[in-house]
């Protein structure tokens, strides 16, 4: 396939390398640091790891050109309905807060853990994450997905606090903290804590390869489809 890249930061560079290793061409890159402003003619799928404010415009470019779109950029999810309207049934579009196969399996593990814990009120729950210093949003899209999973499956929790707490945390709240530091950090952890013991469920990434490879594999799966999809559709989870 011919793949276009929106964004050429750390993720975009790894996507390009892995896509080419899998036999694809990457003839189109648009980024402030490396821009090819030609049209999208002849491109099969675009992969977006750019900035939240650019996602809708990139989607319009792809829809106008008939190019399928994979969106890995985070921090724009309040505009998801707008993206659905732009895409319609003109192209295929797959979006996810995280394209790592391991992270998506981790989501399912956390879902099951929360389902089990729902019947045991003696266990409180908390979440934390750490990302590299270049991460543009906080909390991350992955953290938001984990928060949603916990709120949907724990009847005793109906709110998440992401900010610093200068008060007692309420019983109905989950505190999810975010740390930014280091050149390559990707870790998420959910804790279930009682007076007797603590159970933690965590995922750590060694590098960006798993995230980038998942995006390329999703692009391969998406090409030729129409409408909106998520990673659960691609992975059949």
Output the domain CATH number for residue 33: 3.40.50.720
No. of helices (H) and no. of strands (E), the chain: 7, 11
Q: 165-223: per-residue pLDDT in tens? A: 999 999 999 999 999 999 878 999 999 999 999 999 999 999 999 999 999 999 999 99
In sequence order, the 6+-apart residues with CB closer than 8 A to the CB of 98 are 104, 141, 142, 145, 211, 214, 231
Query: Does residue 123 sit in the same domain as residue 214?
Result: no
Number of folded domains in the chain?
2
Backbone CA torsion sign across 26, 28, 31, 33: positive
Q: 12-64: per-residue pLDDT in tens? A: 999 999 999 999 999 999 887 665 556 788 999 999 999 999 999 999 999 99
Buried b (16+ CB within 10 A) or exposed e, 100-133: bbebbebbeebbebbeebeeeeebbbbbbbbbee
Query: Does residue 125 sit in the same domain as residue 199?
Result: yes
Q: What per-residue confidence (pLDDT) applies to 15?
A: 97
Query: Does residue 164 sit in the same domain as residue 107?
Result: yes
Q: What per-residue confidence (pLDDT) applies to 34?
A: 63
Query: Does residue 158 sit in the same domain as residue 221?
Result: no
Query: Does residue 87 sit in the same domain as residue 40?
Result: yes
User: Which CATH number covers residue 159?
Assistant: 3.30.360.10
Q: Are strands 186-193 and 198-204 parallel, antiparallel or unpaired?
A: antiparallel
Instruction: Give kind and range of the element (H or E) at residue 187.
Output: strand 186-193
Query: Does residue 192 sit in the same domain as residue 230?
Result: no
Does 131 participate in catalysis according to the annotation?
A: yes
Buried b (16+ CB within 10 A) or exposed e, 58-90: bbebbbebebbbbbbbbbbeeeeeebeebbeee
Residue 44 belongs to what domain range? 2-99+209-235
Among residues 237, 236, 232, which one has the least CA distance to residue 94? 232
Among residues 22, 105, 89, 86, which one has the least CA distance to residue 48? 86
Query: Does residue 15 sit in the same domain as residue 95?
Result: yes
Q: 101-110: per-residue pLDDT in tens? A: 999 999 999 9
Query: Does residue 105 sit in the same domain as residue 131?
Result: yes
Q: What's this model's pTM, rounded to 2 decimal places?
A: 0.82
Q: Which member of 131, 144, 157, 203 is catalytic?
A: 131
Query: Does residue 52 sit in the same domain as residue 129?
Result: no
Does 135 participate in catalysis according to the annotation?
A: yes
Query: Does residue 32 sit in the same domain as residue 112?
Result: no
Query: Does residue 163 sit in the same domain as residue 221?
Result: no
Q: Which member of 16, 61, 135, 203 is catalytic?
A: 135
Query: Does residue 85 sit in the same domain as residue 156?
Result: no
């Amino acid at each position: 396939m011919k793949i276009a890249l929106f964004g050429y930061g750390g993720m975009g560079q790894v996507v390009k390398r892995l896509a080419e290793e899998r036999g694809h061409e990457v003839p189109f890159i648009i980024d402030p640091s490396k821009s090819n402003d030609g049209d999208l003619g002849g491109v099969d799928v675009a992969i977006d790891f750019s900035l939240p404010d650019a996602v809708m415009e990139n989607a319009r470019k792809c829809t106008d050109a008939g190019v399928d779109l994979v969106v890995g950029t985070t921090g724009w999810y309040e505009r998801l309905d707008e993206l659905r309207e732009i895409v319609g049934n003109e192209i295929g579009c797959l979006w996810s807060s995280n394209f790592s196969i391991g992270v998506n399996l981790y989501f399912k593990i956390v879902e099951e853990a929360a389902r089990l814990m729902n019947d045991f009120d003696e266990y409180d729950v908390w979440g934390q994450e750490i990302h590299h210093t270049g991460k543009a949003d906080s909390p991350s899209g992955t953290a938001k997905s984990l928060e949603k999973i916990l709120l949907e499956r724990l009847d005793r929790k109906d709110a998440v606090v992401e900010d610093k707490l200068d008060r007692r945390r309420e019983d109905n709240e989950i505190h999810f903290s975010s740390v930014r530091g280091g050149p390559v950090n990707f870790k998420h952890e959910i804790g279930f804590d009682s007076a007797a013991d603590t159970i933690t469920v965590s995922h750590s990434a060694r590098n960006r390869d798993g995230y980038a490879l998942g995006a390329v594999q999703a692009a391969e799966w998406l090409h030729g489809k129409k409408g909106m999809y998520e990673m659960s559709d691609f992975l059949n989870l």
